[in-house]
Amino acid sequence: MPRLVPAAASLTLALALASGCANGGAVSHYGKVVQGERDTTVNVRVTPGDRFSLAVPDTTAAGEDWTLITPPDPKVSSYISEEHVEEPSGTPGSTYFVLNAKKPGTTDVVVSPCPSCPPATFHITVSDQQS
């Protein structure tokens, strides 16, 4: 059985590399990216099966880290992951909340960088017809 351990380790490493985990990302693409920011509501229209991301700008303020406050209705959209992307210049980047559209309907997703900060709200409409 000693040969199974190296094979299992190789398989685990291969899966990690294939999923993007080796470079810090859990997803290989963000799909349609929709920008939001504090104290705003953004309308998002997608069709069933679409992958999309809700992007918010990171700040340099201490103690601020975007958090999912209100997740989507799981019948309408599924939450995949939260990704942080830094700019090469060292300036703050963005946080992406990656989702998949499931069935027609509406749902709101609310994210906030701190408990007392005004949130960013995304009103998501999943429709069979894209307008």
Same-domain check for residues 91 and 121 = yes
Q: Are residues 41 and 77 in the same domain?
A: yes
Angle in degrees, CA 122, 128, 131, rounded to 5: 65
Same domain, 65 and 99: yes
Distance CA 82, CA 51 (A): 13
CA dist., res. 65 & res. 112, Å (int): 8
Chunk the chain into consecutive blocks of 10 residues (it has 131) and report each block's average pLDDT, rounded to whole numbers. Answer: 42 36 60 95 97 90 85 97 84 91 98 93 92 58
128: its two tokens: 């069979």
| pTM metric for this prediction | 0.77
**Residues 22 and 49 placed together within one structural domain of the fold:** no
pLDDT at position 33 is 96
Range of the domain at 50: 31-126
pLDDT at 120: 97
Q: Is 93 helix (H, G, I), strand (E, B) or coil?
A: coil
Cα distance between residue 50 and residue 108, in whole Å: 17
